[in-house]
Amino acid sequence: MTETSKKSYTVAVCLAAVFGVLGIHHFYLGRLLHGLFDLGLSIAGFTLITIGDSENMVMAGAILLGIDVLHTLYVTFKLLVGEYKDGQGNLVIYPGQKRILESQNRSI
């Protein structure tokens, strides 16, 4: 049987939805390197957009932020459908998913 995370599904989804591009949800779920990567993308993107002295730098910043937004949407979707794992490798499940997982395991 797949182990389930002790982390709150609701908190993780809210953090991903509100602070997703900053990677705060990754830190909450114990995925430190993933969080640092996400935060780095955001900082680099915002920095290039605000202090970029050429169109190319601004465009690079916009691309970095675009990648970060797409990544955030993907992770948020995975959280919403109960397929995302925390830093320990345990599923972050939505309310009611535990019953579904248990019934699937009984039928195997």
Residue 42 maps to a domain = yes
- As for how many domains the chain has, the answer is 1
What is residue 94's predicted lDDT score, i.e. its pLDDT? 85
Map tokens 């995302």 to a residue: 84
* CA torsion through residues 55, 57, 63, 69, sign: negative
Residue 57 maps to a domain = yes
CB 42 within 8 A of CB 29: no
Residue 41 maps to a domain = yes
Residue 4 maps to a domain = no
Give how far Cα 17 sits from Cα of 9, 37, 43, 52, Å.
12, 17, 18, 28
Residue 49 belongs to what domain range?
9-107
pLDDT-based confidence at 18, cuts 50/70/90? very high
The model carries a pTM of 0.82
Query: What is the biggest distance separating any 2 CA atoms in the chain, rounded to whole angstroms?
Result: 61
pLDDT tens, residue by residue, 70-89:
999 999 999 999 899 999 99
Residue 66 has pLDDT above 90, yes or no: yes
Q: CA-CA distance, 58 to 79, in Å (whole number)?
A: 31
